[in-house]
Amino acid sequence: MDLAVEMREITKVFKKVAANDKVNFNLKKGSIHGLLGENGAGKTTLMNCLYGLYQPESGKIFINGKNVRIDSPQKAMSLGVGMVHQHFMLVRPMTVVENIMLGLSSKRGPFLDTDRVERELLALSKRFNLNLEPKAKIWQLSVGEQQRVEILSALYRGAEILILDEPTAVLTPNEAQELFGILRMMRNDGKSVILISHKLEEILAIVDEVTVLRDGRLVGQAQVTAETTKRDLTSMMVGRDVLFNFKHETLKTGATKLMVNHLGARNDKGLPALKEVSFSISAGEILGFAGVDGNGQKELCEVLTGLRPTTSGEICLNGKELNRSSPKTFINEGIAHIPEDRHKTGLAMNMGIARNLILKNFSQSGFSSRGLLNFRAIKKNAERLMEEYAIKANGVHTKVKDLSGGNQQKVILARELSSKPEIIIANQPTRGLDIGATEYVRQKLLEESAKGAGVLLISADLEEILQLSDRIAVLYDGQIMGILGRNASVEEIGLLMAGVRTEEVEVC
Amino acid sequence: MLKENGIVKGFCHSVLPAVVTIALAFGVSALLLLFSSHSPIEAFSTLLTSAFGSPSRIAEVLIKTAPLMVMALGISVAFKSQVWNIGGDGQFTLGAIFAAFVALNLNLPGFIVLPVSFLAAFLGGALWGGLAGYLRAKFNANEVITTLMLNYVASYLLSWLIRYPMIDPDGHGFPQTSLLAQQYQLPIILSGTRLHVGILIALMIVLLGYLFWRSSLGFRIDLVGENEEAAKYCGINVSKTIILTMVISAGLCGVAGWGEVVGVQYRLLDNISSGYGNLAIVIALLGNLNPFGIAVSSFFFAALLVGGNTMQLMEGIPFSLITVIQGLVIVFVISRVVYTQWRDNVANRHFNRGAR
C-alpha cells in the first residue's frame, strides 16, 4: 500500500521535556487517519512538525516516499500538506475569496485575479459539497462554514494531505456530521486526511486507521474495523503500566464534609455542562473524577468554588448551604482550589513568590494592618512556606514566571494547603510536571487527606486517579456515570468514560 | 514595580527609566539641532534659563508641576489595573466646577471652605470617572471611548455653566465666573511670585500614592491589573474593584482641577484644564506608573512647558525645539512600553510552549 506520509522516529523536545519521543506515524494514501490521545499527549506537536511549524530534533519525514525537510508551512503546502488549526486564521471583514487569495500570487501581474479565483473556488466547493458562497464575508458565516473556508483554502492551495486539529471541538453535532461527509468525499477523491482528536466516537465513526499517542510516545497503531470498540481504544489511550507506588492506607473516613445534590450548570456557550450531579466527600477521603477532558470537569470545579453560577441543585459544606455565594465565601469556608491552568488562573506571573503566596488572604489581619500591608510578615510567611514546600528560587521576590512548572505548582500548593482547608479541589494538579514534582504533589494530597481534609481530584491521568482515590466517579457529558470503589478496574472505568453504562457496574 | 526591599532599588526602578528616556530625547534633539546648524549647547542653556532663570520662573514651573503630578498619579492608578482612563481632562474640569461651585456659594471661613471644596472636587472627578468605570464593569463598555467622550461632555458643560447659570454678573458678559474671595484662595508660599501651597499638597499626595501601593487596596488593584482571571479566582470582586479604581483615579484628576481654581485662576473659565490630561498620560508612562517617577517626570514636563513659553520671546533659538523634545519623549516612552510588552509576549510564548 502506498504511503502518503511516513514519519520515522520523530523527537521534539521543549524545555528538556520530550513532547514527541521517537514517534512513528504512517498515513496511507486515500485514507482517513485518526490521531488519538489525551490533551498534552503530543498530537498537535507531531502534526506541527509535519506542517513545518516546528522542526523535530531528530527523525525523518517522507512524503510520497521521498525524504523531505519541511522547514516552513510554505514548504509543507508546496508538498501538498495543508492544515486547519483549532483557531481559524481568517480576516473577518473580508470575503471568502479575498481570504483564500491572501498570500497567493496573482496570474494577472499587479492586478487581482478575483473573478478567476472565484470561479475556481465555486467549482471546488461544488466538487466537495462545501456549499460556500465565495462572495460572503467571513463575519457573516457560522463557525462550521468558517471551518469549511479553511478547508477550501487548503484544497485550493493543492493540498493532497489535510490535517484537521480537533475539528469538531467547535461544531454542533449536525455540523460535525456534515464535516464527516465532506471528509469522506475527499477520501473518495484520493486525498488523505489526518484527524486529531480525543473523542472516541468520532474516531470510530469515520477513520480507517488510528494512531494513539500517550505522553509523547507512540502506544499503538491499528485498523479501525466494525469490531473495534471504545474499550480497545480507551485502554490504549490511558495505558496500564503503573508509574508510582504509593502506600495508600485504607483510612477510616469521617463525617460527610461536602454534599452536592442534583447540581446543574451551563458552560460558556450557555449549553448545559453539568446535569444532575450528586456526590459527597467525607473527611479524609479522596474522591477521584475520571473522564475524558471536556465532559464538565472545568465547570464542576468552577461551580464548587463559586466562580460559576448553578442552574439547579445545592452545595453544602459542613451542613452550610453555599450555592449562590461569592467566591470569597467559598474561600473563607475552607474550599481550596488548585486550578487547571496555573498560568492563567492560579498565579500572577509578573508578581513575586511572596505576593503570590498571599493572593487569597492579603487583606487578613496577619498580612495587613490598618489597610497597609505588613511586608515583614509577608516575607516571613514566604520564607517559611518556601522551606516547607521545597520551592526552589533565588529569593522570596523572584517573579513566578521565572520558576519551573513544578515550582510554580508548589507555590500554588503552599498557598492553598497552608490555609488548612476543609475541602481541596485539585484539577489536573500534575499536568505538565516532571516525575519528581508529580510525586511531590500526589504525596501532599495524600498527606492532607490523612490530616482530615476532603479531596476532590480531577485528572485525565487514570493511573493517578486509581492510585490516590478512595472512590472514583466518572464524568461523561456532564453526568456522573457511576461512582466506583477504589478497586475498580481500568476496563470498568474506561467503559463509563466512553459513556457506556453497564448493568454489572456497581454504583455505590 | 514598588519593591518591598530597599528604597535604593525602588528608586532605580522608578526614576532611572524616566531619566534615561529624557536623556535620550535630549540627545536626539541635540543631533537635530546640529543638523540644522544650531548650537545645542546654546539652545539647551537658553531653555534652562527660560525655565529656571529667576525665582518667578522657578515658581511658574512648580505651579505647573502640581496639577500634572496629581493628575498623572491619578492616571497611573487606573493604568496599573489595566483600565485605560484617558479622560483626565474631563475629570479635571468636573473637579474644577465642583470646587468653584462650593467656593462661590458656601459663605463660611476659608479654613472650612477650602477643605470642603477639595472634597467636592474629588467627588466631581470621581463621579465622572466612576460613570465610565460603572459602564465598563456592567456593560463592558470600552473605557477609552467613554472617558474620551466624557471629556467633550465636560468641556461643553463648563462652557454652558460659565455663560449662563454661573456667569459673573458684573463681568460684562465675559464667559467666566466671578473671582473667588481672597480667603478662598490658596495661600502664596513665595512672596513676589504666584507660587501657592498646591505644590506641597501635591507632594503629600505623592507620598500617599507611595503608601497606596503598599496597602491592601493597592495590592488588590495591582492584582486585577496583573491577572483578572486570577483575581476572580482569589475571591476579588473585579467589577467593584474596577469602579473603585476609576473613582480614585478620576478623583485625583478632579483634585488637580481644584488646585487650578483655588490656586491659579481663582475662577472658572473656558478650557480650564489646558490639555493637562494628555500630558498626564505621557508623564504617568514616563514615570513608569511609580509615584516618585511621576514626581520627577511631571517636574520635567512643567519645566519644558514654562521654558518653551519664555523661549518664544527670545530670538535665534527655534521655539519648535520644545515641541520636538516633547515629541521625542513620547516616542521613547511608547517604544519602551511596546518593547516591554513585546519582551513579555516572547517570554510567555516561550513559556507556554514549554509547558505543553
pLDDT tens-place string over residues A329-364: 999 999 999 999 888 999 999 999 999 999 999 988
Confidence check: pLDDT of A504 > 50: no
Q: What residues contact A285, with CB distance under 8 A and at least 6 apart?
A: A251, A253, A449, A454, A455, A470, A471
- CB-CB: which of A346, A378, A401 is closest to B347? A401
Average pLDDT score, chain A: 87
Among A46, A338, A362, A369, the strongest candidate for a mutation testing the B interface, having the largest count of B CBs within 10 A, is A362
Give me the pLDDT at residue A253, please: 67
Which pLDDT band holds residue A39 (cuts at 50, 70, 90)?
A: low
The answer to whether ipTM exceeds 0.90 is no
Query: How confident is the model at residue A508, as a pLDDT?
Result: 46
Nearest CA in chain A to B348: A401
What's the residue count for chain B? 356
CA distance A73 to A19: 20
Q: Please, what is the average pLDDT of chain B? A: 90
**Domains of chain A: residue spans and CATH:** 3-238 (3.40.50.300), 241-334+421-508 (3.40.50.300), 347-420 (no CATH)
Count interface pairs A-B at CB distance under 8 A: 94
B235:A331 CB<8 A: yes
Question: Given an 8 Å threshold on Cβ–Cβ distance, is A359 in contact with B230?
Answer: yes
pLDDT at residue A242 above 60? Answer: no
Residues A61-85, mean pLDDT to the nearest whole number: 92
What is the Rg, in whole angstroms, of the alpha carbon atoms belonging to chain B? 21
Q: Where is pLDDT greater, at B17 or B236?
A: B236
φ, ψ of residue B237 to 5 degrees: the values are: -80, 100
Whether residues B234 and A371 touch (CB distance < 8 A) is answered with no
Question: Higher-confidence residue: A423 or A249?
Answer: A423
Tell me the per-residue pLDDT of B262-276, one tens digit each, with 9 for 90 and over: 999 999 999 999 889
Q: CB–CB of A402/A433 below 8 Å?
A: no
- pLDDT exceeds 80 at position A430: yes
> Which band of pLDDT confidence, cut at 50, 70 and 90, is reported for residue B347?
low
Which range, of B1-10, B82-91, B326-335, averages the lowest pLDDT? B1-10
Strands A286-290 vs A471-476: parallel, antiparallel or unpaired = parallel
What is the average per-residue pLDDT within A216-242? 74
Q: Is the pLDDT of residue A200 over 90?
A: no
Share of chain A above pLDDT 90, in %: 55
Confidence class for position A251, pLDDT limits 50, 70, 90: low
Beta-carbon contacts of B197 under 8 Å, excluding residues fewer than 6 positions away, are: B186, B187, B188, B189, B263
CA distance A191 to A124: 14
> Which amino acid, residue A443?
Q
CB-CB under 8 Å, A344 with B235: no
The whole-number pLDDT of residue B279 equals 92
Residue of chain B minimizing CA distance to A332? B235
CB B129 within 8 A of CB B258: no
Return the domain boundaries, chain B.
7-346
Highest mean pLDDT among A121-125, A196-200, A293-297, A497-501: A121-125
Is a pLDDT exceeding 50 seen at residue A83? yes
- φ/ψ (deg, to 5) at A131: 60, 55
Torsional class of B177: left (φ above 0), alpha (ψ -120 to 50), beta (otherwise): beta
Q: Which residue has the higher pLDDT, B343 or B68?
A: B68
Mutation pick from B219, B220, B222 vs chain A, by most beta carbons of A within 10 Å, is B219
Report how far apart, in Å, the C-alpha atoms of B172 and of each of A391, B162, B167, B177 are: 75, 13, 10, 11
Query: Which stretch, A365-379, A457-471, B119-133, has highest mean pLDDT?
Result: B119-133
For A327, name the nearest residue in chain B, comparing CA atoms only: B235
Q: A15-29, A239-253, B160-174: which has the highest mean pLDDT?
A: B160-174
Contact B232 A327 (CB under 8 A): yes
Angle formed by the axes of helices B7-35 and B320-355, nearest 10°: 130
Å between B240 CA and nearest CA of chain A = 13
Range name among A86-100, A280-294, B9-23, B218-232 with the lowest pLDDT average = B9-23
From the list A14, A344, A367, the residue facing B353 with the nearest CB is A14
When pLDDT is cut at 50, 70 and 90, the band that residue A403 belongs to is confident
Interface contact B229-A401, CB threshold 8 A = no
CA distance A164 to chain B (A): 19
Distance from CA of B212 to the nearest CA of A (A): 8
* Selected residue of A38, A268, A345, A353 to mutate for chain B interface (largest B Cβ count, 10 A): A345
Of A362, A368, A375, the CB nearest to B4: A375
* Among candidates B214, B226, B355 on the partner chain, residue whose Cβ is nearest the Cβ of A348: B226
Q: Which residues of B touch A374 (CB under 8 A)?
A: none
Q: A368 and B216: CB-CB below 8 Å? A: yes
Residue A228 CA to residue A212 CA, distance in Å, equals 14
Q: Note the residue count of chain A.
A: 508
> Do β-strands A3-14 and A17-28 pair in parallel, antiparallel, or remain unpaired?
antiparallel
Comparing alpha-carbon positions, the chain B residue that sits nearest to A350 is B226
CB B325 within 8 A of CB B29: yes
Chain B residues near residue A343 by CB distance under 8 angstroms? 351-352, 355
Report the alpha-carbon distance of residue B341 to residue B338 in Å, rounded. 5
Closest-CA distance, A241 to chain B, in angstroms, reads: 22
Q: Which residue of A has its CA nearest to B217?
A: A371
Q: Inter-chain contact B216–A363, Cβ cutoff 8 Å? A: yes
Task: Tell me which residue of B39, B140, B87 sits closest to B276, measured CA to CA.
Answer: B87
Q: Which three cell numbers stand for residue B311?
A: 523661549
Residue A162 has pLDDT above 90, yes or no: yes
Cα(A117)–Cα(A245) distance, rounded to whole angstroms?
Answer: 62
CB distance A401–B232 less than 8 Å? no
d(CA A182, CA A144): 12
Most A-contacting residue of B4, B5, B210 (CB-CB within 10 A), to test interface: B4
Model pLDDT, residue A505: 46
- The predicted model gives A408-436 an average pLDDT of 90
Q: What is the pLDDT of residue B315?
A: 67
How many CA within 13 A on the CB side of residue B47? Answer: 24
A351/B215 Cβ within 8 A = no
pLDDT of residue B117: 97
Of A244-248, A413-417, A438-442, B16-20, the one with minimum mean pLDDT is A244-248
pLDDT bracket for residue A233 (50, 70, 90): confident
Query: Which member of B215, B344, B356 has the closest CB to residue A14?
Result: B356
User: Contact B230/A345, CB-based, under 8 Å?
Assistant: yes
Give the list of residues 6+ apart from residue B18 with CB closer than 8 angstroms, or none. B286, B287, B288, B293, B296, B297, B300
Nearest to A350 among B216, B226, B235 (CB): B226
Report CB contact under 8 Å: A362, B220: yes
Phi-psi group of B178: left, alpha or beta (phi > 0 → left; psi -120 to 50 → alpha; rest → beta): beta
Domain B7-346 of CATH type 1.10.3230: no
CA distance A41 to chain B (A): 9
Chain A residues whose CB is inside 8 A of the B234 CB are 327, 331, 359-360
Query: What is the pLDDT confidence band of residue B3, given thresholds at 50, 70 and 90?
Result: very low
Indicate if the alpha-carbon torsion angle B201, B202, B205, B206 is positive or negative.
negative
Contact A81, A161 (CB under 8 A): yes
Percent over 90 (pLDDT), chain B: 71
For residue A132, pLDDT beyond 80: yes
Q: Which residues of B touch A (CB under 8 A)?
A: 3-5, 211, 214-217, 219-220, 222-223, 226-227, 229-230, 232-237, 344, 347-348, 351-356
Q: Is A307's CB within 8 Å of B237's CB? A: no
Q: Which chain B residues are within 8 Å of A337, Cβ to Cβ? A: 233
**Which range among A92-96, A429-433, B195-199 has the greatest average pLDDT?**
B195-199
Greater pLDDT, A292 or B86 = B86
Whether residue A502 is predicted with pLDDT greater than 70 in this model: the reply is no
pLDDT at B1: 38
Confidence of residue B355 (pLDDT cuts 50, 70, 90): very low
* pLDDT score of B82: 92
Q: Report pLDDT digits (tens) over B181-234.
A: 999 999 999 999 999 999 999 999 999 999 999 999 999 999 999 999 999 999
